[in-house]
Amino acid sequence: MTKNTASTAGRFAQLAVAAARLAFEDARIQLNGADPYRIGACMGSSAQAVSDILEKAIPLFFQKGLRTIHPLTCVDYTTHMATAYTQIELAIKGPVTTISSGCSTAIDAINWAYEQINNGKADIIIAGAADAPISPFGLGAFCAVRVLSKRNDEPAKASRPYDANRDGMVLSEAGTAVVLEELNHALQRGATIYGEIVGQSSISEAGETVVVEISGESVAKAIEIALKNANLNPGDIDYINAHGNSVIDYDISETKGFKLALGEHAYRIPISSIKSTMGQSLAPASGLQLISSCLTLKHDTIPPTINYEYPDPQCDLDYVPNRARHNRVNIVLMNAHSVGGTHSVIIIGRYDRNKQNRGL
């Protein structure tokens, strides 16, 4: 990124720019000759720049006054700067917006991008999210709500979704980005297609801000809507890349939701949580799920849920314990849950030139 961006942007925005640039390079998008007003961006965030901007700026302000505040502070700690710096760095001039919906942010940003392209408002949109919550205050805030693992003596084994001895999540940080493109536009320029979006949904429990609905009914409803949107049946799902954050009640609710939505087929679907290896990065976490799922379609390799040592009777599905599995996978479902009771789902399929096009 430019020196100006590197010197002023918050770490979360820098992660967004870095991920977006990598995605553009992987997609081999050439801006020369392209219409910049047909290329859009949506990069979300949830924790923003509390850690690396406000945490440093506020103590100095109270100690030494107004002159210590950088003139761009009021701009750079806003959530939209992940998108703003991305569009500036990549010279994107099409539809842009920012979504902040907690841990489902990346999926929601991708779903927004899908709708923009599907409605003919853009040909290409880069979408994802970034967060950098690891700092003294950021870590302290999550400690206060008591959702973090206390397994400090074995940090490599602390994140253990669905395991009977799980005691909370492990905080991480990330930037994620994917390029969504109208199918014919992608084919004309010879793009590598990792998968097609074939279904999506987003609903709310309308209950508590942090406490999850333990029945799993809202998880199930979000999945059912996405399946209907994709014109698929439960038996069409080959793999679930799950939210799986290693918080006791959340994992139970998710398991119950899978059973309610998918019936007996839930017991036959391999399910894994990549948060067991990558931690809970908040807004970009569901973007990591999507990228991982695209690679599953490409390599027919399902990532494992590591640290799964002691089965939980209430989490009794096939969580692909500890080792990756090689399976033919054509349809992947991903789900994400966020504070405030948001449940978002996205379904992607393997692209087949010989079949009727279904999505982007």
Domains identified in the chain and CATH numbers: 3-134+172-188 (3.40.47.10), 196-349 (3.40.47.10)
Residue 52's pLDDT is 67
Residue 263's pLDDT is 97
Percent of the chain with pLDDT over 70: 97
- Separation of alpha carbons 317 and 325, rounded Å: 15
Cα-only R_g, the chain: 20
- Separation of alpha carbons 64 and 99, rounded Å: 35
Is the predicted pLDDT of residue 224 greater than 70, yes or no? yes
Residue 264's pLDDT is 96
Please state, in angstroms and as integers, the Cα–Cα distance from residue 211 to each residue in 80, 207, 208, 247, 337, following that order: 28, 8, 5, 11, 11
pLDDT in tens, 65-106: 888 887 777 777 788 999 999 999 999 999 999 999 999 999
Q: Which single residue is written with the structure tokens 């992660």?
A: 15
What length is written for the chain?
360
Residue 31's pLDDT is 79
- Separation of alpha carbons 93 and 36, rounded Å: 5
3-class secondary-structure state, position 77:
coil
Is the predicted pLDDT of residue 15 greater than 70, yes or no? yes
- Confidence bin at 244 (pLDDT 50/70/90): very high
pLDDT in tens, 304-330: 999 999 999 999 999 999 999 999 999
Please state, in angstroms and as integers, the Cα–Cα distance from residue 272 to each residue in 245, 262, 310, following that order: 11, 16, 15
Residue 9's pLDDT is 87
The secondary structure element, H or E, covering residue 252 is helix 248-262
Residue 50's pLDDT is 63
Residue 355's pLDDT is 67
Both structure tokens of 334: 């991903």
Average pLDDT over residues 222-248: 97
| Residues in a beta bridge with 241 | 272, 334
Q: Which single residue is written with the structure tokens 């505040």?
A: 69
